[in-house]
Homo-oligomer: A and B are copies of this chain.
Amino acid sequence: MSDDAQPKRSRRSERSRQAILEATRALVSEVGYGTVAIETIAARAGVGKQTIYRWWPSKGAVIFDAFLALSEGTEGQGVVLPDTGDIEADLKAVLRATAAEFADPEFEKPIRALNNEIINDPGLAAQYHEKLAGPVDEAKKERLRSAQRAGQLAADADLDLVLEVLYAPLFQRWLLRSGPLTADYADALVDATLSAFRP
């Protein structure tokens, strides 16, 4: 590629990457996973189709990266949970932030659209677990293991179950719009989860 040799390539590449990820999320919201096409993403992001294919092998790959980026830090360093040594405080900070994000219509819209596709497509659900939910859950479990070592969580707790008890009520409330997503609610879920799996 001729622009590989240009100065400021790295910053320009990062701008293109972000534009592609944003266009992808917007288009999944608007037209759905099935209908969105690489051509449409390229046009919306103002890049050539080849730019997308240089970085991602398939439509599925760019879509999952677009959603994974929502879970990552602004520096793009992947998902890491805070570890101050106090599992209750750390989980409350994380769950309050999650509740606030899901209560934000602009933030939640593409995620709702993606969930809608996953619910109807077992193959896409499997990809979602492998590429997106799996790595995010692994980062959360890393923090839970630290709490187990600190004696703040039962050493024999099933960490998949811990994550489900902690997050599934929030997911259900959000998805079915069955109740408010407040900081108090986030705190109550952390309290219930830590009581359920105390050492």
Is A101 an interface residue, CB under 8 A from the partner?
no
Whether B129 and A119, one on each chain, are in contact in the complex, defined by CB atoms closer than 8 angstroms, is no
- A49 on the interface (CB 8 Å rule)? no
Q: Closest residue of chain B to A121, judged by CB?
A: B177
Q: Which of A175-190 contact B (CB under 8 A)?
A: 175-179, 188-189
Check: A173 CB closer than 8 A to any chain B CB: yes
Q: Tell me the bound Cα distance from A56 to B187 in angstroms.
A: 43
A116 within 8 A of B: yes
**Cβ of A169 and Cβ of B161 under 8 Å apart?**
yes
Docked-complex contact B119 and A176, CB < 8 angstroms: yes
A171 within 8 Å of B (CB atoms)? yes
Contacts of A195 in B (CB 8 A): 195-198
- Copy count, this protein chain: 2
Q: Which residue of B lies closest to A128 (CB)?
A: B176
Classify the secondary structure of A's interface with B.
helix
Q: Check A172 against B176 for contact (C-beta < 8 Å).
A: no
Q: Is A93 part of the contact surface with B, judged by Cβ < 8 Å?
A: no
Question: 1/0 contact trace for A83-122 toward B, CB 8 Å?
Answer: 0000000000000000000000000000010011011101
Q: In the assembled complex, how far is the CB of residue A125 from the closest CB belonging to chain B, in whole angstroms?
A: 5
Q: How far is the CA of A171 from the CA of B168 in the complex (A)?
A: 8
CB atoms of B120 and A116 under 8 A apart: yes
